[in-house]
Amino acid sequence: MLDGKIAVIYGSGGAVGGAVAEAFARHGARVVLAGRTQAKLERVACRIWDKGGHAAAMPVDALDADAVERHMEAIVERFGRIDISFNLIDVGDIQGTPLVDMPVGSFAQPINRAMHTHFLTATAAARRMMSQRSGVILALTAQCGRNPSPTTGGFGVACAAIEALCRQLAAELGPHNIRVACIRSAGSPDAPGLSDLFDEHAAKEGIAREELDARYGASTMLGRLPRLAEVGNAAVLLASEYAGSVTAEIFNLTAGQLAD
């Protein structure tokens, strides 16, 4: 589905980024693994190469404008083009405190970080894609960006802002044959970071982890939350020509937690 495509994934040393990178490589893309920690990127690259895929670990600070620009130049110089850009870096959200009790810095942190990095990486890719008149830019948000819940701090606002940025970019870049789409997930309990958090919550409540998973799953139409591999599969679909007419879209990957 992505045979021969050049894809850069920011935050690919993390659980979600690594899963997306492996899915892209499995479908034929040559994957550029971008993030701040070389060792984490190398581990993902090794998994991809061991399975017959192609990956290059190219570290970058996706919050540094000059670094992002130099990094994109290096990608184009090495591979000749950029077909897919997907930003999956951690925005450092602070949750669990009501807004009325939260310092403004804590509230603004995920919003500022999300807007900063998504603007830098998306526009850097878009400038190269405009010259080749093709490309796909992707982002990931969470269901609280559409359906706010208590004590999510600035994270839900950051998710809504990312979705708004994607829609505006889609409008600007559509005439250049560049698509922009966003995946809205409900969180994947099999992702290591979230799995550890679920384990902690279950322990605090004195219940089995399976009971906690079932409780969260009960809020969805499918009776479960989306799996990590399903995030990768959705990204492959949106990045491929099978979604060639899809842009400005917020892809619902909440297992039916949201009806639209």
Q: Which residue has the tokens 């589905």?
A: 1
Which residue, among 221, 86, 210, 207, has the nearest Cα to 143 in the 3D structure? 221
d(CA 212, CA 196): 12
Our separate counts of H helices and E strands in the chain read 8, 7
Answer with the residue of higher pLDDT: 30 or 98. Answer: 30
Which residue, among 159, 154, 144, has the nearest Cα to 106 in the 3D structure? 154
| Range 196-210 average pLDDT | 80
* pLDDT tier for residue 213 given thresholds of 50, 70 and 90: confident
Please give the C-alpha separations between residue 252 and each of 87, 109, 114, 196, 226, in angstroms, as whole numbers.
Answer: 18, 26, 20, 25, 10
Phi-psi group of 195: left, alpha or beta (phi > 0 → left; psi -120 to 50 → alpha; rest → beta): alpha
* pLDDT tier for residue 194 given thresholds of 50, 70 and 90: low
Residue 150 has pLDDT above 80, yes or no: no
pLDDT of residue 145: 72
The answer to whether 219 and 187 have CB atoms below 8 angstroms apart is no
User: Half-sphere exposure of residue 29, counting CA atoms within 13 Å on the CB side?
Assistant: 30
The answer to whether 226 and 185 have CB atoms below 8 angstroms apart is yes
pLDDT of residue 258: 75
Answer with the residue of higher pLDDT: 171 or 217. Answer: 171
pLDDT of residue 209: 82
| Range 185-199 average pLDDT | 76
What percent of the chain shows pLDDT beyond 90? 73
pLDDT of residue 28: 98
- Edge to edge, the sheet with strand 178-185 lists 54-57, 30-34, 6-10, 84-87, 135-142, 178-185, 249-253
| Range 220-224 average pLDDT | 91
pLDDT digits (tens, 9 = 90+) for 100-135: 899 999 999 999 999 999 999 999 999 999 999 999
| Range 180-191 average pLDDT | 88
d(CA 247, CA 29): 20
pLDDT of residue 167: 98
Q: Residues 6 or more apart from 45 whose CB is under 8 A from it?
A: 33, 55, 56, 57
pLDDT of residue 42: 98
pLDDT of residue 260: 63
d(CA 253, CA 139): 13
| Range 33-55 average pLDDT | 97
Q: What domains can be seen in the chain, in order of their start residue?
A: 6-188+229-250 (3.40.50.720), 189-225 (no CATH)
pLDDT digits (tens, 9 = 90+) for 65-98: 999 999 999 999 999 999 999 999 988 777 778 8
d(CA 62, CA 215): 36
Answer with the residue of higher pLDDT: 144 or 180. Answer: 180
Across all residues in the chain, what is the average pLDDT? Answer: 92
Which residue, among 53, 58, 6, has the nearest Cα to 27 in the 3D structure? 53
pTM of the complete model = 0.92
